[in-house]
């Protein structure tokens, strides 16, 4: 999947929230809690489960493949535009997400396939400090 520019889904950001967190296992639950707190407040309760799971996958991938490189913190962002919800995870590695072909008995390697099923669109782009992996959903 090629790098793409920051998504400009639906125009300007109307609302946003985010948090920086240490590269630690607790980052996964903190990202989920952010989505579970904010999306109902924004009237998007129906997107909470899908967004929470996608953020879990993105943060887990960052912890496994990117954050250990530098110990740098991760950043999770939620953005609401007039037509879309966007969820972003910023990490310190410029290396793109990579699909695996797990064997039937493998315990991992299926995360990006889940993201494909849950998000309307997703991709990544490089940043001056690493990369951002993003997912988007059209508003109901």
Q: Is the pLDDT of residue 61 over 50?
A: yes
Model confidence at 3, pLDDT cuts 50, 70, 90, reads very low
Closest CA to 94 of 69, 118, 112: 69
Does 87 reside within a domain? yes
Which strands sit side by side in the sheet containing 74-80, from one edge to the other? Answer: 15-21, 74-80, 84-91, 130-138, 121-127
Does 103 reside within a domain? no
Does 59 reside within a domain? yes
Domain ranges, residue 76: 15-97+109-138
Does 72 reside within a domain? yes
Q: How many domains does the chain have?
A: 1
pLDDT of residue 1: 41
Q: Return the structure tokens found at 116.
A: 């494909």
**Which CATH number does the domain housing residue 90 bear?**
3.30.565.10
Give the tens place of pLDDT for each residue, 76-104: 999 999 999 999 999 988 888 877 666 66
Does 79 reside within a domain? yes
pLDDT of residue 72: 79
In degrees rounded to 5, what are phi and psi of residue 131?
Answer: -150, 170
The mean per-residue pLDDT over the stretch 11-18 comes to 92
pLDDT of residue 89: 96
């Amino acid at each position: 999947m090629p790098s793409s520019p920051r998504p400009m889904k639906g125009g300007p950001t109307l609302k946003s929230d985010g948090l920086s967190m240490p590269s630690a296992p607790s980052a996964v639950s903190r990202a989920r809690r952010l989505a579970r707190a904010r999306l109902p407040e924004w009237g998007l309760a129906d997107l909470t489960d899908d967004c929470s799971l996608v953020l879990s996958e993105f943060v887990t991938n960052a912890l496994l493949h990117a954050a250990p490189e530098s110990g740098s913190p991760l950043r999770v962002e939620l953005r609401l535009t007039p037509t879309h919800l966007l969820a972003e995870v910023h990490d310190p590695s410029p290396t793109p997400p990579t699909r695996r072909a797990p064997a039937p008995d493998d315990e991992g390697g299926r995360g990006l396939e889940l993201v494909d099923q849950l998000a309307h669109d997703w991709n990544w782009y490089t940043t001056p400090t690493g990369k951002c992996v993003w997912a988007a959903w059209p508003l109901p």
